[in-house]
Every structure is written in structure tokens, then in C-alpha cells.
């Protein structure tokens, strides 16, 4: 089972890096979504289409593996996350609408490599290592930025551009009002668990240092 999960997390890391890189490029480095263009909800490119296609394939494959080995590769929250993500990506890919917002959601995958590295280190018996601690800190900061603060910007941007959001077809419009809050809520629940784990790890590290000093 470890071999299956090892490979599964390897594919997960590859997809996360690709999704984060493409999203970062299109959102910040390219001029695709510059303010002086047309309606931001109507803009897209062959690269965003391609990335959405890759992400759909990944989420579908990962969902199949989760169901096949359920619940060893993930519980009901993973089924909900993957299902909602596939729905939103499919809608954007087929309609060509809302690529800007879907790319922001895909960028949150940037935290996935840290989650997977934690599992690899735990499996290798390195839970007490400095690398495990530093990875935990990176996961905490990364999650805070990419999955909490980014969603604050996401909702603020939607509010400021609501006149454009309202031009999206009804199913897409109401999906944009419901799917992101659901994903944001899930991210907050997971962030709370990360915070508790971080505090626990720091306390153990402090106790270990104190014991060595004594």
C-alpha cells in the first residue's frame, strides 16, 4: 500500500508544481489579465485550456484511485474536494468563462508538495528531523498565503468586478458564488488542523531541546 501511495503522491506533486507554475505565469507574468483588456471573466488562452485539461485528467485519475482504495488514500473530504474541483474546471473549460478565478484556485496546489514531503519524511522515520520541522513551517506559511489570504483577495476581486461576474451564464454565475466559499471553508478546516499539528511539533521540539540542555 505504501508503494501505491508513494506513486500517487509523486503524481500529485508533479501536477501541483505544473498547476502552480502555469497559474503564476498567466496571473502575474503574462498580460492576459491586465486591467486594460476586455471583460476579465471572458479572457482565456491555449495555455489555460491546456492546464485545465491536464488538471481534469489528474483529478479524475486521483479520484478513481481514492475510490478504489477508499479510505486509505483519503476520506470523504477528498472526494468532495476533487468532485467540486472537477466540476468548476470543467465548467470553465467548456464555457471559456472565469479562467482568471479558476487559475487562482489552481495556484493553491502550490502547497501540495509540502504536504507530500511531510508524508515521505514520516514514512522514512524522519519525523523528528529539522527538515520535517522546516517543511512544517513552510507548509504553514504556504497554506496561510496560498489558501487563506489568496481567497480573501479572490472574494475581494469578485466583489470589485461583480458587474463582470454577473455577465456569466446563470449556471456559471451561481457556481462562482457557491464553489469558492465551499473550497475556502475546507481550506480553513485543514489550516486549523495544520496549526494544531504545528503547535504540537514545536512543543515536542522545545521539550527535546530542553532535555538535551539539562
**What span, in angstroms and rounded, lies between the C-alpha atoms of 58 and 110?**
15
Check: CB of residue 106 under 8 Å from CB of residue 88: no
CA dist., res. 175 & res. 154, Å (int): 14
Q: Tens digits of per-residue pLDDT, 10-37?
A: 999 999 999 999 999 999 999 999 877 7
The pTM for the full model equals 0.93
CB 19 within 8 A of CB 106: yes
Range with lowest mean pLDDT among 55-64, 102-111, 128-137 = 128-137
Give pLDDT tens digits for 148-196.
999 999 999 999 999 999 999 999 999 999 999 999 999 999 999 999 9
The upper half-sphere exposure of residue 132, i.e. CA atoms within 13 Å in the direction of its Cβ, equals: 19
Closest alpha carbon to 148 in 107, 92, 198, 117: 107
pLDDT at position 1: 78
Amino acid at each position: 500500500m505504501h508503494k501505491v501511495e508513494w506513486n500517487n503522491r509523486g503524481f500529485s506533486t508533479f501536477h501541483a508544481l505544473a498547476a502552480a507554475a502555469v497559474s503564476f505565469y498567466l496571473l502575474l507574468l503574462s498580460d492576459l489579465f491586465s486591467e486594460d483588456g476586455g471583460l476579465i471573466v471572458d479572457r482565456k488562452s491555449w495555455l489555460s485550456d491546456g492546464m485545465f485539461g491536464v488538471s481534469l485528467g489528474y483529478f479524475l485519475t486521483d479520484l478513481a484511485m481514492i475510490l478504489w482504495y477508499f479510505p486509505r488514500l483519503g476520506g470523504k473530504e477528498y472526494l468532495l474536494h476533487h468532485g467540486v474541483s472537477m466540476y468548476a474546471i470543467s465548467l470553465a473549460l467548456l464555457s471559456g468563462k472565469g479562467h482568471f478565478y479558476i487559475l487562482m484556485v489552481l495556484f493553491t496546489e502550490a502547497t501540495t508538495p509540502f504536504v507530500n514531503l511531510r508524508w515521505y519524511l514520516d514514512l522514512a522515520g524522519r519525523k523528528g528531523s529539522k527538515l520535517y520541522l522546516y517543511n512544517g513551517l513552510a507548509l504553514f506559511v504556504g497554506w496561510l498565503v496560498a489558501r487563506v489570504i489568496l481567497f480573501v483577495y479572490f472574494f475581494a476581486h469578485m466583489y470589485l468586478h461583480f458587474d463582470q461576474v454577473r455577465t456569466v451564464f446563470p449556471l456559471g454565475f451561481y457556481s462562482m458564488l457557491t464553489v469558492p466559499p465551499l473550497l475556502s471553508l475546507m481550506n480553513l478546516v485543514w489550516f486549523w488542523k495544520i496549526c494544531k499539528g504545528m503547535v504540537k511539533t514545536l512543543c515536542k521540539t522545545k521539550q527535546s531541546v530542553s532535555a538535551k540542555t539539562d
